[in-house]
């Protein structure tokens, strides 16, 4: 057996840990100890966790080891610790949604995603810091690549925990850029599957036509492993897919005989990218040669951000209005202003925005008939300095609006050496094809 003090256990991939636990080369308890030691070392600096109870983690790990000693079938994620964003309910753990208005809130039931984790044999490592109500106002988490910079948001703690080696896997959510952008800033893999792939029951809603559960990992295969465990229909979530994508791990691990095809798309947000990012993406597209061609989106794609804003602001007003009414003075200025603006969104504007979403997706689906994935930045550049903002989601809005699967790959860097993610986007429901292309690109660039 591996000694519990082995320094590299916390740095191993989720797939490697899963194999080592299943083979008896290490145990769930030893993995938990390695991660708890890493958390004790780094958490004071990075502030990724809103709640963690080492005794609970040790108890869950021992229970998984006892299950294995009984020669029982092992779950898909047997013994793997997974960190969970603090807008996702976990029974018996504080879930405070990043606001003092929910201080002391302890749900009695697991969210559907947490229930799936437990069914798969995973250990809930802890609850990770989120921005206020999973929106835009940060709550102090620092970027492990440079603590003077934001880790992004709203899934701030989930991204930071994986980047710092405090968790091999983490769950987040995305309504605009809350998985892809933090993954880019923290230099890890972030995967937002097709809208409706992972049920949202028991998760604080923000804008239900947009809200999507996503994951953070150190590799494309690890991200696929986690989504394979979480993807399932839930009748309690009206947007939950009846046929969510599966076999994602096999897709991520399957070598391609020929290079996939990429559509280099600048989007209407291209001017927001800094010069270093623009040059890096142009160079990557050139390096891909015949495997990559540039596609220009028509002018109507300028409607994407206003449409997303109408849907998101109306949703925030609906779901967070009760917080505003009972504790306006305990909310940040940005969320107060957003709720107020959302209350002014007319029904006709909201319905028109939903129409825009489907019209734009139809055009993008046509593009993806000719390509395996769209290639575009995950963020305008490196993580901004300071902790007052989580960065600009301009390069995420279109794909979130259209409910398309997207993945951020840690392949580029900015002028100060901080990471910049390469974003690949696929057709709805074609997540396996997207991940095959992502795995190929990781090997090609590295």
Please spell the DSSP secondary structure of 228-296, one letter per residue: HHH----TTSTT--SS----HHHHHHPPPSS---EEE---TTGGGS-HHHHHHHHHHHHHHGGGEEE-P
| Mean pLDDT within 173-195 | 98
Which of 27, 85, 269, 408 is labelled catalytic?
A: 85
pLDDT band at 257 (very low <50, low <70, confident <90, very high): confident
Q: What is the mean pLDDT of the chain?
A: 97
Average pLDDT score over residue span 50-54? 98
Q: What is the mean pLDDT of residues 21-36?
A: 98
Tokens of 387: 């902790």
Q: What does the alpha-carbon distance between residue 111 and residue 114 come to, in Å, rounded to a whole number?
A: 5
Beta-bridge partner residues of 109:
none
Report the distance separating Cα 224 and Cα 217, nearest Å.
Answer: 9
Catalytic residue among 178, 241, 400, 408: 178
Digit-coded pLDDT (tens) for 123-132: 999 999 999 9
Active site residue 85: yes
Residue 146: burial class (beta carbons within 10 Å; 0-12, 13-18, 19+)? middle
For residue 2, the model assigns a pLDDT of: 40
Q: Which of 154, 155, 184, 439 is catalytic?
A: 154
Residue 119: partners with Cβ closer than 8 Å, 6 or more residues away? 75
Fold classified for 80-446: Amidase signature (AS) enzymes (3.90.1300)
E-state strands within 25-115? 49-51, 81-85
Contacts (Cβ under 8 Å, ≥6 apart) of 432: 245, 247, 248, 250, 251
Cis amide leading into 207 (omega within 30)? no
Query: Is 178 considered catalytic here?
Result: yes
- Domain ranges within the chain, ordered by starting residue: 80-446
Q: Where are the beta strands (DSSP E) in 95-188?
A: 123-128, 169-174
pLDDT at residue 8 in the model:
87
What contacts 336, CB < 8 A, 6 or more positions away?
Answer: 324, 328
Structure confidence by residue, pLDDT tens digits, 381-434? 999 999 999 999 999 999 999 999 999 999 999 999 999 999 999 999 999 999
Nearest to 220 by CA among 365, 49, 437: 437
What strands lie across the sheet with 189-192, from one edge to the other?
49-51, 123-128, 81-85, 169-174, 212-217, 189-192, 406-413, 419-425, 373-377, 262-264, 292-294
**Cα–Cα distance between 106 and 109 in angstroms, integer?**
9
Hey, what are 16's tokens?
Answer: 């490697």
Give the span between the Cα atoms of 173 and 215, in whole angstroms. Answer: 8
- Does 1 score more than 70 pLDDT? no
Please state, in angstroms and rounded to a whole number, the distance separating the CA atoms of residues 366 and 355: 17
């Amino acid at each position: 057996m591996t000694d519990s003090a082995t320094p590299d256990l916390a740095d191993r991939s989720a797939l490697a840990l899963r194999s080592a636990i299943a083979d008896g080369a290490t145990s769930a308890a030893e993995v938990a100890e390695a991660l708890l030691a890493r958390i004790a070392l780094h958490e004071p600096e990075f502030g990724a966790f809103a709640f963690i109870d080492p005794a609970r983690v040790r108890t869950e790990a021992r229970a998984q080891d006892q299950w294995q000693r009984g020669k029982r079938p092992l779950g898909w994620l047997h013994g793997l610790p997974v960190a969970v964003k603090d807008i996702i309910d976990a029974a018996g753990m504080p879930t405070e949604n990043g606001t003092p208005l929910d201080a002391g809130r302890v749900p009695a039931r697991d969210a559907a995603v947490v229930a799936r984790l437990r069914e798969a044999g995973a250990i809930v490592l802890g609850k990770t810091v989120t921005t206020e109500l999973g929106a835009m106002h940060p709550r102090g988490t620092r970027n492990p690549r440079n603590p003077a910079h934001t880790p992004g948001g709203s899934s701030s703690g989930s991204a930071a925990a994986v980047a710092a080696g405090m968790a091999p896997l983490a769950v987040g959510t995305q309504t605009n850029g809350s998985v892809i952008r933090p993954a880019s800033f923290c230099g890890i893999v972030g995967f937002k599957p097709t809208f409706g792939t992972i049920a949202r029951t028991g998760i604080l809603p923000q804008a239900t036509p947009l809200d999507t559960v996503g994951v953070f990992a150190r590799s494309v295969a690890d991200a696929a492993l986690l989504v394979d465990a979480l993807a399932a229909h839930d009748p309690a979530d009206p947007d939950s897919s009846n046929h969510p994508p599966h076999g994602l791990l096999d897709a991520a691990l399957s070598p391609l005989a020929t290079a996939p095809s990429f559509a280099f798309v600048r989007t209407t947000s291209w001017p927001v990218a800094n010069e270093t990012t623009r040059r890096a993406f142009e160079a990557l597209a050139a390096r891909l040669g015949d495997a990559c061609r540039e596609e220009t989106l028509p002018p109507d794609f300028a409607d994407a951000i206003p449409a997303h804003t109408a849907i998101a602001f109306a949703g925030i007003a609906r779901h967070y209005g009760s917080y505003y009414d009972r504790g306006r003075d305990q909310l940040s200025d940005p969320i107060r202003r957003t709720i107020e603006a959302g209350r002014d969104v007319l029904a006709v504007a909201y319905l028109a925005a939903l129409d825009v979403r489907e019209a734009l997706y139809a055009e993008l689906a046509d593009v993806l008939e000719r390509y395996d994935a769209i290639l575009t930045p995950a963020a305008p550049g490196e993580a901004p300095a300071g902790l007052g903002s989580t960065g600009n989601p301009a390069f995420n809005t279109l794909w979130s609006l259209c409910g398309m699967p997207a993945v951020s790959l840690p392949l580029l860097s900015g002028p100060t050496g901080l990471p910049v993610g390469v974003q690949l986007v696929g057709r709805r429901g074609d997540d396996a094809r997207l991940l095959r292309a992502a795995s190929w690109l990781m090997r090609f660039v590295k």
